[in-house]
Structure 1
Amino acid sequence: MKKFRNRLMVWMITLLILQLIVINIAGLLPFIAEQKNQLSTEAFLNYIWQNIQHPILHSTQMIQEKNPVFMLGSTSAIILSFYMAFISNRRKTQYELADKYGVHGSSRFARPSEIFTHGETLGVAPQQLMKDLEASMEDHKKE
């Protein structure tokens, strides 16, 4: 439940940021057309500041005007923020899958197929193993 709440918060924050960008971009062309004779940096910054302070007012105006850039941008912002919050983080990267990609520091239990590969391991009877062990210990005692 906590993971879902965190994803929901990420979704809301990214949606808010993307929606503010869409509001500024969608209203930019009408603003330039309106201010074409007296366009200045101060007027442009004031326009952006007004959009950030009152996003709901400006978005309702754009909805009433049926601004196609705003409609397309808002739909894209909703889809993109939903994808970023809920879908894109579900896939595990190559380094998170220790079963398939073992790196230094990653640990897991080995599979029997990895341990008992044909031609690499030898089967020794328990009695022979004890004889070999005792023989190796006797050689070290003599030294």
Structure 2
Amino acid sequence: MKTLGIRLLLTVFLMLLLELIVINVAGVLPFIAAHKKNISSAPFMEFFIGNVLHPLERATLMIKGKNPLFFLGSGVIVLLSFYVTFFMKGIKGKYQLADKYGVHGSSRFAYKNEIFKQGETVPVPVNQFMKDLEASLLDAKGEK
């Protein structure tokens, strides 16, 4: 659940960033058409800064003006974002699958059947374990 929330948050951020790019790209063609007589002195920086500072206003104007490039770009962004969020799985490389790659220095968590093999581990009662521990702590003279 936690990874889905992080994935959704990153998707929203990516959508906003891509939508800002679509607003700039879709607005460039009408901007150039409006300033085609004197394109060298056109206020390009004011256009881009206005798009960055007021993206909702610019998007609303493009919707009212029925800008097909804006609609196409927005549709592609929505489809791409849903694909990345819900259908794109993390691809595990060969180094992440250590149990299949298995070279010296690779690690993975052991399975229970690898740890507790029949006949290799012996259960010891707790009282006997404590007596063995105390006996191992005594020095050669029998003192602690």
Superposition pairs of residues 33-112 of structure 1, within 5 angstroms: 33-40=33-40, 43-108=43-108
Give CA-to-partner distance per residue, 1:90-140, whole Å, 9 cap, x none: 332222122222244223459xxxxxxxxxxxxxxxxxxxxxxxxxxxxxx
| Superposed displacement of residue 33, structure 1 | 0.4
Structure 2: gaps (5+ residues) = 112-144
Taking structure 1 as the reference length, what is the TM-score of the superposition?
Answer: 0.67
Hey, what's the Cα distance between the residues in 2 that align with 1:95 and 1:83? 26
Q: Which aligned segments of 4 or more residues in structure 1 are displaced greater than 4 angstroms? A: none
**Aligned partner letter, 1:75:** G
Residue 24 of structure 1 corresponds to which residue in structure 2?
24
How many residues in Structure 1 have an aligned counterpart in Structure 2?
A: 111
Matched, 1:15 2:12: no
Between 1 and 2, higher relative CO (CA 8 Å, sep ≥ 6) is seen in 1
Over the aligned positions, Cα root-mean-square deviation in angstroms equals 2.3
Report which stretch shifted further, 25-34 or 80-89. 80-89
Taking structure 2 as the reference length, what is the TM-score of the superposition?
Answer: 0.66
**Percent identity (aligned):** 48
Structure 1: gaps (5+ residues) = 111-143
| Superposed displacement of residue 38, structure 1 | 2.9
When residues 99 and 51 of structure 1 are mapped into structure 2, their CA distance, relative to the original with a 3 A threshold, is same
